[in-house]
Amino acid sequence: MRFAKLKSTGRVIASLSGGEGADDLNKFASELGYPIDEMDIGYEDDAVVEGWFLAQDKAALTYKDKRVDEYPSIGDQLDDIYHNGIDAWKATIKTTKDKYPKP
């Protein structure tokens, strides 16, 4: 897979399957709208490039996004309050809040 990363940040800005050789890479890079000397371009296994994109996506999540993914469902939270009381619910929620604090 062809890829292009910004040298300044390491962020992957594009990828495209297929292609071979330096001419193909230069054509790919020239179509991206960045100066070629500001990019690292090359070939890498598909799984590696996909891993880079997943890491970028995960890093872009805010603390709110991370909390939403980790909190129990509303139904489970209400069930927790009903069966264990508000203090037990607060303790459950506090675990997630402590794991992903506000910046």
Which pLDDT tens digit goes with each residue over 40-83? Answer: 888 889 999 999 999 998 888 888 999 998 999 999 999 999 99
Q: Which two tokens stand for residue 7?
A: 């040298």
In the sheet with 2-6, reading across from the earlier edge strand, the strands are 12-16, 2-6, 39-43
* DSSP SS3 for 13: strand
- The whole-number average pLDDT for the span 26-37 is 86
CB 4 within 8 A of CB 40: yes
Q: Residue 98 above 90 pLDDT?
A: yes
Distance, C-alpha 75 to centroid of its chain: 28
pLDDT for 25 equals 79
pLDDT of the residue at 1: 87
In this model, does residue 19 exceed pLDDT 80? no
